[in-house]
Amino acid sequence: MPPRQPLARLGSALARRPRRALRSSVLLALIALVLAAGTMDRLVLSRFESPGSESVTTRAVLEEEYGTGTPSVLLMVTAKEGTVDTPAVAEAGRALERELAARDGVAETASYWSRGRSPVMRAEDARQALVVARMAGTVTQARAELARISPEFTRDGELLDVRVGGGDEVFRQAAEQAREDFLRAELIVIPLVLLLLFVLYRRFSAAALTLAMGLFSVIGTLALLRIVTLFTDVSTFAANLTLVMGIGLGVDYSLFVINRFREALASGAEVPDAVRESVTRAGRTVAFSGLTVVVSLACLLLFPFPFLRSFAYAGIGTVLTSVFAALVILPAALARLGHRVARRKAGEGVETVQGGDWWRRTALRMMKRPLLYGIPALAVLLTLSAPALGLTFGVPDERVLPRETSSRVVQQDIRENFAAEEMDAIQVLDGGGMSAADVERTALALSRIDEVHQVDALTGSYADGRRILDAGTWSARFEGRSDGTWYSVIATHEGLEREVDRVIGEIRTLAGDDARVAGYPAELADFRAELTGRMPLVLGLILTVTFVILFLVTGSVLLPLKAMVLNALSMAVMFGTLVWVFQDGHLSELLGFTATGSIEPSIPILMFCTAFGLSMDYEVFLLSRIKEEYDLTGDTPHAVATGLERSGPLITSAAVVLAASFATYASSGIVFLKMLAVGMVVVILVDATLIRVVLVPVFMRLAGRWNWWAPRWLRGVHGRLGIGESESGAVPERTHTPAAADL
C-alpha cells in the first residue's frame, strides 16, 4: 500500500530511521523516569466527600463560627488498674489530652474527662475511654502529621495503655498498605508477565521487547501524573491502577503489532515493509481500541470527587503511553531487530501456541448449532449474574484493613465495647433565634429517634427523651459567634451501618427546614447521592461514544448494539461476583477479608468504567479482524471463523496477561484492591471465553446479513470516516453468498 495514509507514513518513517526514533525514545524514557521518581511523594489522600454538598459546607461553617468540627483521630485509653474514673487514671487521661492538644497540626481535642464524663465516650465496662482530636489543614497534611503522632502516642505505661485510631488513621494506614502492595506487585508482575510472554512468543527478544513497552507505559504514566499533581490532587491509589493497566495495555497493544509484523515477515515481506504494514494495519485498530478505553475512563472526570478523577488521570495516561509505545517505539525496535523477532519456523507463533485452528473449528461448530450452544452459555452467565440483584451500597470502615492492623483493632474494640461512636456524630446546625427551651425541646426530640444513642447540646446531654447530663463547661462548644447553635447526634452502630439514610432523614425532619447536617455519616450520604445521581449521565455518554466508535470500525448498526449487550452480560457477572464474594462473604477466609454486608459504591463504578473500556478494547480487535475478512470475501460465517482464528488467540493471550497483572492485588491487605483484582479477573476471563468463544459467533450466525446493516446515509458516513485493518473502511457491495461448506 502506498504511504499516503498518516499511519502508513509513520510506519515508513520509522522503518527508514529507526535509530533516530529509538534515541529519541530513550531520551524521553529517561526524562519520564526522572519525573516518575518523585510522583509517589506527591500523591495525596482524600476523604469520601462531595465538594460543595450540604455536609461539606456545613462543616466549614462549624469550623469558622464555632471552632469545632468532625474529629478524625482518637486515642483509645485503657486503664491498667481500676476504671477510667479512678482519680490517678483520670488525671493521666487529662494530661494525655493536653499533650495531644499541644502538638502541631491538632486543631481541637476533647476527652471523656473534659466532656463531663460523657457516657458515649466510655466503654460499657468503664475500663476504656476516648480522647478525640480534629486535625488542621488538608487531609494530606493531617495524615502526614498523624504519621508522626501515631507512633509517639502508642504507649504501654504503668497506668494507661494508649492506642491510636479514627478515620484518618484507618485511611492513612490503608494508603501505606497500598504503597506496600504497589511495590510487591511490581516484584510479582514483571517476572510473571515476562514468563508468560516467553511462553507465547518462544523468543526472549520478543518477550523482553513487549514487556519493555508495558514498563514504558507505567513510567510514562507516573511522569504524567507528576505533572497533573501540579494542578490538582491525585490519589495515592492511582499508582496501583497505573501499574496493572500500564503493563496490561502496553503488552496488549504490542502483541497485536508484533503479530502483524510476524505475519508480514512470514508472507515474504522485507523488514521495512513489514514494519510499515504492522503500523498501518494494526495501528488503526490499536488507536481506536485505545480510544474506547479512554472514553470509558474519561467519564470518571464527570464525578466531582478527587478519588475517582485520579483513576481517570491514571487510566488515560496508561492508554496514551501504551499507544505511543506500540506505534512509535515498538516499530522502530522491530526495524532494528528484524528477523530476531520472527517465528522460529514456519507456522509457529502466538496463534499455534494458543491453537488458532481450534478457534476456527469452535467458531464453525457454534455457528452450525447456535441455539444448542448459545442458550446454555447465556444461562451460565445469567446464573453468575444473579447475585448482583442483591447489591447493597454501604459505608467504608476499618474492615477495609487486615485484621491485625492497629487502627482496625482499635475500631473493633469501640464497636464491641462502646454503645456508640463519638467520632461518627451527626452534627446538626441550626440557624439561630432559639431559646434554651427550644434547644432542649429539639434535643429531646432528636434523642427519641430509635437509632440515636445520645444527643449533646447547649443545654446538656439527652438520651431516650430525657436529660442524662446537665450543661457544663464542655457545652460551651455549642455557642458560636452568632445566636445559632448546633447539636451532636450520636447514632448507634447498627443505625450507622444499616439505617444511616433514614436516620439522617428523620434528623432533618425533626430539626426543621432551616437546619443543616454535617459529620462523617452525612458526608458519606451526600457522597453516595452525588455518585448515584451522576451514573445515568456517565452510562449514557459511555454507551453513545462507544457505539460511534464501533460503528466506525464495522459500518454496522447492529454489531455495536450486540457488543453492548454482551458487554452488559460481562458487567453483570462482575457485579454478581462482587456481591457473592465481598458483600455476602463467600471465599472471605481464602482471600483474607471481613465481609460487611455491603459494598462501598465508588469502587464498583471505577471497575465498571475500567472493565467496560477493556472489554470494548477486545471487541474492537475482534470486530476489525472480522470486518477485514468480510471486506475480502463477503462471507459472514467465513469472516467470523477466520477473524476468531487470527484474533482469538491474541485476545486470549492479552487477557491472560492483563488478568495476571490484576490478580497480583488479590493478596493485597486492602479490600478495595482485592475487589479490583477479583472483579477484573472475572470479567476479563468471562469476556475472553464464554463471550468471545460462544456468544459472538452464535449471535453473528443468527443475525446473518443483518450484521452489516446500516441506513444508506450512515453507510455514506462510514465510507468517509470508517476505520479498520482493511485497506479501506468502506463497506463494499457484495453479491457473494455465505459459504455453505463452512457451516
Residue-wise pLDDT tens digits, 80-125: 999 999 999 999 999 999 999 999 889 999 999 999 899 999 999 9
C-alpha torsion 30→36→37→38, nearest 10: 140
* CA-based radius of gyration for the chain: 30
Distance CA 430, CA 487 (A): 8
Predicted confidence at residue 3, as pLDDT, reads 41
CA distance 355 to 343: 15
Q: How confident is the model at residue 315 (pLDDT cuts 50, 70, 90)?
A: very high
Nearest-angstrom CA–CA distance, 100 and 131: 9
Position 662 pLDDT exceeds 50: yes
pLDDT at 35: 93
**pLDDT > 60? residue 549:** yes
pLDDT band at 427, cuts 50/70/90? very high
Tell me: the pLDDT tens digits for 378-388? 999 999 999 99
Q: Has residue 138 got a pLDDT over 70?
A: yes
pLDDT in tens, 236-274: 888 888 988 999 899 989 988 998 898 888 888 899 999
Range scoring the smallest mean pLDDT among 111-120, 287-296, 438-447: 287-296
What is the reported pLDDT for 287? 87
Q: What is the pLDDT of residue 339?
A: 85
Q: What span, in angstroms and rounded, lies between the C-alpha atoms of 713 and 561?
A: 18
> Which tens digits make up the pLDDT trace of 719-734?
776 654 444 333 344 4
> Residue 615 has what pLDDT?
83
- pLDDT in the model for residue 356: 66
User: Can you give the pLDDT at residue 722?
Assistant: 62
- Residue 737 CA to residue 634 CA, distance in Å, equals 7
Q: Give the per-residue pLDDT at 344.
A: 62
Q: What is the mean pLDDT of residues 659-685?
A: 89
| Mean pLDDT lowest among 65-74, 141-150, 731-740 | 731-740
Question: How many other C-beta atoms lie within 10 A of the C-beta of residue 378?
Answer: 15
Task: Give the span between the Cα atoms of 428 and 417, in whole angstroms.
Answer: 26
Q: Is the pLDDT of residue 346 over 80?
A: no
With a pLDDT cut of 70, the percent of the chain lying above it is: 94
Whether the CB-CB separation of 639 and 633 falls below 8 Å is answered with: yes
Which range, of 296-310, 417-431, 706-720, averages the lowest pLDDT? Answer: 706-720
Q: Is 428 helix (H, G, I), strand (E, B) or coil?
A: strand
Mean pLDDT (the chain) is: 86
pLDDT, average across residues 685-712: 88
Nearest to 395 by CA among 235, 603, 179: 603
Between 78 and 431, name the one with better pLDDT. Answer: 78
Q: What percent of the chain has pLDDT over 90?
A: 39
Can you tell me the mean pLDDT for 357-374? 90
CA separation (Å) from 310 to 45, 142, 233, 301, 363? 11, 20, 8, 8, 40
**Global pTM?**
0.82
Whether the per-residue pLDDT at 320 is higher than 60: the answer is: yes
Run of H or E including 487? strand 485-491
pLDDT at 102: 93
At residue 455, φ and ψ (nearest 5 deg) are: -125, 125
Check residue 345 and give its pLDDT: 58
pLDDT at 625: 83
